[in-house]
Amino acid sequence: MPSSAGVAIIVSLFAAAFAKKTWKDVDTLQVGVKGWLTDGTEFGSSIGAEPLKFQLGEGDVIEGWEQGLLNMCVDEKRRLKIPAALGYRDIGYKDLGIPAGASLYFDTELVSVEEGPEVLHINQDSLVDLSEF
């Protein structure tokens, strides 16, 4: 499914038939998350606390989340394995104890979706060339 450098969705604990709500790019997501290194060292968790709140596509989260949370539904749980190239790369994240080049695991749950603004879709075929006026 994913390429060797892509995100692996290890398990999705959810049945699509019970989908409550999916999201669009302009929506704000609230996600419960627990992260750990391949050796089992936990580096962060919002479980039992305030979920993380962000908008995908805005650069607020690592690239692996941008890919791994796509098409997720409210109440869906996923376990993600994110290679270093889609995480904190060869820099790491010292404040969280994430070393350079570390692959990461995350248990995620989409808690809620806040609707973003309506997006105006323009049909390019119906545009009028105003340069002649």
Asked whether residue 18 is domain-assigned, the answer is yes
pTM: 0.74
Asked whether residue 109 is domain-assigned, the answer is yes
The first and second tokens of residue 24, run together, are: 């669009």
Residue 127 sits at φ, ψ, to 5 deg, of -75, 145
Asked whether residue 83 is domain-assigned, the answer is yes
Confidence of residue 61 (pLDDT cuts 50, 70, 90): very high
Asked whether residue 1 is domain-assigned, the answer is no
The CATH code of the domain that includes 98 is 3.10.50.40
**DSSP H or E segment with residue 48:** none
pLDDT given for residue 2 in this prediction: 43
Asked whether residue 131 is domain-assigned, the answer is no
Asked whether residue 128 is domain-assigned, the answer is no
Count up the domains in the chain and report the number.
1
Asked whether residue 36 is domain-assigned, the answer is yes
Identify the burial level of 58 via C-beta atoms within 10 angstroms of its C-beta, where 0-12 means exposed, 13-18 middle and 19 or more buried.
exposed
Structural domain of residue 89, as residue ranges?
Answer: 8-116
Interatomic CA distance for residues 132 and 73, integer angstroms: 48
Residue given tokens 């692959």 in the structure block: 103
Angle at 15 between CA 14 and CA 18, to 5 degrees: 110
HSE on the CB side for 23, CA within 13 Å?
27
Asked whether residue 49 is domain-assigned, the answer is yes
pLDDT given for residue 7 in this prediction: 75
Q: Which range, of 16-30, 37-51, 91-105, averages the lowest pLDDT?
A: 16-30
Query: What SS3 state is found at 118?
Result: coil
